[in-house]
Chains A and B, each alone.
Chain A
Amino acid sequence: MIVADVGYVAWRELLKFFRAKTRLLVTVIQPLLWLGLMGNMMEGLVKNPFVERLLGTGSYLAFMTPGVLLMTVLFGGVFAGMSIVWDRRIGYLEKLLAAPISRAAIPLGKMMASAVQGGFQGLLILLIATGLGVRFATGFPGAIFALVVAMTFSLILSGFSLALAARIKSQETLMAVVNFFTMPLMFTSNALFPREAMPGWLATLAQMNPVTHAVTPIRQILLFGWDWGAIWVSLLVIGGLAILMMFVAAQSFLRTTVE
């Protein structure tokens, strides 16, 4: 039963996601801007052989693609909590809580929807990147693998923001708290900047950052090829965190009332 409940909560979110045409358009344009503008802008920098060695590739665009992929998923994921705030405002959350569905299905459904959205956006990014000349060293299976990692990563973010939204009732506060985490997460990771070029303390921070653990395996299989030895720790961290956040989010809704 809980699987069906999760499914219908997710279905509602996805129906709305694919119906919001403007939002869809923006999700296409944004990565296009990132990759097209910033990717090309930085291209000159990579002409430097030293930088090329740091990046591990002669194409900043290829280096950056996993970063943009994760960034999009990151900012998309944190919006999952906003939907709870909105549902609470229009009274829909009460409706869900009054129904005989499993309460855990509410955050889990929204997390699933957020992962599917992330996967869809990720697919667009990979298509755009391909159009700009980026090629996966591991080909098509590698691209699928990248999307799966991105979707798993999205569960961490959406779970986090949903757990917060179970307690934070106002949109502004939730947004502030979430941004407090997302921006530093982004810029203390190796998403846009190689860890090898970071000062020691930042490199240590980046090593502990979940964003880094999501970027590393994708970059590995995009630039170099399958090397499980190099990526298994990161996969374990991401997978473990995703399961943990599913549990935390579900738990935070189990005892929720409308007080």
Chain B
Amino acid sequence: MEAVCVENLVKIYHGGIRAVDGVSFAIDEREIFGFLGPNGAGKSTTIKCIVGLLRPTNGTIRILGVDVGKDPGVAKRSIGYAAQETAVDDHLTGWENLYLQGRFYHLSQEEIRKRGEEVLRLFGLWERRNDLAQTYSGGMLKRLDIACALIHRPRILFLDEPTLGLDVQTRTAIWEYIRKLREEHGMTIFLTTHYMEEADELCDRVAIIDQGKILALDKPGALKAALGGDLITLKFVSTDERLPALLSAIQALPGVRNLRSSPDGIHWIWVEQRGDRLIPELVQLALAHGIQVDSVRLKRPTLDDVYLHYTGREIREAEVSREEHVRARILQRRVRR
């Protein structure tokens, strides 16, 4: 069964803004699925529709086969949600935050005690559990927030910009936690991000979304490959009559798309993907033909290239209300402390 199935989701806000415009996708169980897009692309709106915070204008959403619109209670119990705004109550301790969350999911005292310790240890917060959350760093708050989303052992976890504004160490640590959740608990994870390397590093599949529409959806590798693949630049020490035979041998290698040579002896080889794996083969092939390799260079398209290819280079200035500005500033202050 699919963990999440979204069909033709449309969300039009009051005032006629089409935040999400006919989005369809499905996420398999145990998959880490990423939504990648610029500000105001419709990422958060999609997540909020799925977790039941917004009513979709149109379309159906099924969580593990359950229609969210028809049976929100059941769907809610199988999902965990950590919003972009680290929704931790500063005036409560870490444990109290977690305890309340457990109670809101109708867990018993015993369950909360057991699972609470488990998730707090997993996220390295156990020692600080009795400190007020206002003494936590931005990274700790984010970890506590995700820990709260896990207290009822959801099958699917929704993370809206889980690493926004965090430093590299914390970000890497959160990636580790996310992977661990999948490996050890078989959890399905849906995350939104606008960090390319995050999507590349973490996600099995990525959907690029802009202006409410999905522009591309595939494995990060495949998206990069679709853009033209890796480019290998090759130069030989000396060339002789054996070169044409070598070049046609190279062209016959699996995955090689195209080969061009310049008069001054530089050869460009376009490869579908994993050009790094082809390099040893190229060197061996050259040696087998009795030709010495002088230099090899590999250029791979990044997910940035893919992203810019689909979303364009225009900078987005989404119109936001003053209240949203205030919220954004609070969020920034919270993660940076």
Interface residues of A (CB under 8 A from B): 1, 4-5, 8, 11-12, 15-16, 19-20, 89-92, 94-101, 169-170, 257-259
Contacts and interface: CB of A to CB of B under 8 A. Distances in A.
A257 B326 CA distance: 19
A172 B237 CA distance: 74
Given A12-B92, A97-B53, A259-B54, A91 B103 contact: no
A94 B104 contact: no
Contacts of B101: 95, 99
A18 to B, nearest CB: 11
Contact of A98 (B76, B85, B86, B323): B76
A20 B91 contact: yes
Contacts of A89: 85, 326-327, 330
Contact of A15 (B96, B327, B330): B96
Interface of B: 13-14, 48, 51-55, 72-73, 76-77, 81, 83-92, 96, 100-101, 103-106, 148, 322-323, 326-327, 330, 334
Given A8-B104, A95-B148, A257-B55, 13 more contacts: A4-B106, A89-B326, A89-B327, A90-B330, A91-B83, A91-B86, A95-B87, A98-B52, A99-B101, A99-B105, A100-B72, A170-B322, A258-B48
Contact of A19 (B88, B91, B103): B91
A94 to B, nearest CB: 5
Contact of B323 (A97, A170, A257): A170
Of B72, B76, B83, the most chain A CB neighbours within 10 A belong to B83
A8 B85 CA distance: 22
A237 B53 CA distance: 37
A12 B89 contact: yes
Given A15-B96, A259-B14, A90 B85 contact: yes
A91 B322 contact: no
Contact of B105 (A11, A16, A100): A100
A15 B96 CA distance: 10
Contacts of B83: 91, 94-95
A91 B88 CA distance: 8
Contacts of A90: 85-90, 330, 334
Given A15-B92, A89-B330, A99 B76 contact: yes
A97 B73 CA distance: 11
B89 A92 contact: yes
19 contacts: A1-B106, A8-B104, A12-B100, A15-B96, A90-B88, A90-B90, A90-B330, A90-B334, A91-B87, A92-B88, A92-B89, A94-B81, A94-B83, A98-B81, A100-B106, A101-B104, A170-B326, A257-B54, A258-B48
